[in-house]
A and B are shown apart, each in its own frame.
Chain A
């Protein structure tokens, strides 16, 4: 039976069930899929990524049924401008759970957006970027971020303290080259590129070969032109543990392991890490693993710029599948946010540290939903920190987590 027919059968069965016949009693378990949200309005968005401008303007890039759009809010997410669509028609967006549109506004006032499409039947990705010089009014036609026919996925944008746009992503160009030369190559590579304020992206550089190919990367800054990237690496023997690298301008740095989880698996976790750097220079990492040494969601800190990390701290309630960690630093506090599922509700949970990650508050549930939801994210300005969460039922919420 086709998918559509199954849908129809579900509807007919529901009809029969309402008639209360014996037939219906036998067949009521043929549940119809939940109603799909099929239009391209913000109400049907499945991912929403925030960027908070220093004057308090919230920018949101969201995706809904193949379209990518940008809206702004001047009242902290209570109301939004009409959407400005980035692509002119629906495209086949990257279906990965960790894939999401990216957005930054650089000091020139230019808004830059990136998103990933599945470019062929083999689900190779392509990262496209578009920008708008005059706010949300009009985006130029989306262009490839990098000139390569190989797969690119999980692009992460971040605005450098100096005002440049940094992009990191997972790239398969070296895998394609190795295959052509009949050489073995495991996984993908970590790639990055810079765009000066108001300028186009410079050519991509490969920071490291042999990374996991199916998880998002995290980016923070140790200083101007010193982005720190965290990603799920492929260590010797196919171990998918996490690594950080501090890039100096265009120069990749050494690969530093976050923890010896020892997750030796030829599989796609679809579950990437997060990173923040606090004003002391401490690196704060959060990640998911099912390694032989530990399983679950973890946090660890490094006071020596990633050379060594402290003992991983388990995050969340173990029997509620804690997942999708985010970490965010202000001048005086470090915040962790993640998602839990209790069998009925998805919960957005946070905890805070006021001593640079040495000790943490008790976890606090700040929002919940009983339908589908995006990953919980965080944005901030000064000491103000907000949880940014898109849920199907409630829509977009920006929830204040703390002030000094």
Chain B
């Protein structure tokens, strides 16, 4: 069948590609909605960071600690450096911070205003930024290093909340 032939070709092509140590997905127009859809109904924390943001790099290991503490917490990291981004440098930073297992994305459209507008029309590029998405879809955005204790408490309450 035609579809299976194409899928086989895809699998073969994937196997032939060099594998980056870390799986960083490209965030383009529409990806944000896709990301939210994939995690719909779960308590989700999306954390935006960047290579050129010193407070972000300093904070990342604490996110790794939070993930270890709450393995069932859906944490998604989005590197928001202007595209084309240095993916190897991003992977190195994430590995060093102990975040290689956490779902990661990177801005892949050089039209950063459009990507930011998809995510939050008010966002003008300041980092770090964290968006909590509750199981009922309510969102809360904060700028600056996150209060991870507050995030953990929010997560515990949101998970325990009756749908």
Contacts and interface: CB of A to CB of B under 8 A. Distances in A.
B23 A12 contact: no
A266 B145 CA distance: 7
A235 to B, nearest CB: 16
Contact of A265 (B29, B52, B123, B144): B144
B89 A121 contact: yes
A152 to B, nearest CB: 13
Contact of B122 (A12, A34, A321): A321
A214 B53 contact: yes
A32 interface: yes
Contact of A271 (B17, B31, B34, B124): B124
Interface stretch (B65-73, B105-113, B154-162): B105-113
A6 B53 contact: no
Interface in B1-52: 2-3, 6, 9-10, 13-14, 17-20, 23-26, 28-31, 33-34, 50-52
A343 B117 contact: yes
Contacts of A94: 52
B28 A32 contact: yes
Given A2-B17, A95-B51, A268-B56, A346 B113 contact: yes
Contacts of A29: 30, 33-34
A16 interface: yes
B113 A321 contact: yes
Contacts of B99: none
B163 interface: no
Contact of A95 (B26, B81, B117): B81
B86 interface: yes
User: Which of B18, B19, B108, B113 counts the most chain A CB atoms within 10 A?
Assistant: B113
B10 A8 contact: yes
B88 to A, nearest CB: 10
Nearest to A187: B54
Contacts of A19: 2-3
Interface residues of A, number: 55
Nearest to B88: A121
Interface string B94-135: 000000000000101111111011000111111111000000
Q: Is the interface of A mostly helix, strand, loop or mixed?
A: loop
A253 to B, nearest CB: 28
B110 A265 contact: no
B17 A4 contact: yes
B92 interface: yes
Nearest to A34: B109
B122 A267 contact: no
B61 interface: no
Nearest to B24: A3
Interface string A19-30: 101010000011
A13 B126 CA distance: 34
Nearest to B14: A5
A241 interface: no
A360 interface: no
B49 to A, nearest CB: 10
Given A3-B20, A95-B51, A372-B110, A268 B92 contact: no
B126 A268 contact: yes
Nearest to A393: B111
A341 interface: yes
A214 B50 CA distance: 11
A29 to B, nearest CB: 5
Contacts of A32: 28
A404 B55 CA distance: 47
B10 A33 contact: no
A181 interface: no
Nearest to A392: B110
Interface in A309-346: 319, 321, 323, 339, 341, 343, 346
22 contacts: A2-B17, A2-B20, A6-B26, A8-B17, A15-B6, A21-B3, A29-B30, A29-B34, A30-B34, A31-B31, A33-B83, A34-B28, A65-B84, A95-B82, A96-B82, A118-B51, A123-B52, A267-B53, A268-B127, A270-B52, A288-B124, A343-B117
Interface of B: 2-3, 6, 9-10, 13-14, 17-20, 23-26, 28-31, 33-34, 50-57, 81-87, 89, 92, 106, 108-114, 116-117, 121-129, 143-145
Given A31-B28, A123-B57, 13 more contacts: A1-B25, A2-B23, A21-B2, A95-B52, A123-B52, A266-B144, A268-B52, A268-B56, A268-B127, A270-B50, A271-B124, A288-B124, A373-B111
Per CB-CB distance, the 10 closest pairs between chain A and chain B, nearest first, are A372-B110, A268-B53, A33-B108, A372-B111, A341-B113, A267-B144, A96-B52, A269-B126, A265-B144, A270-B125
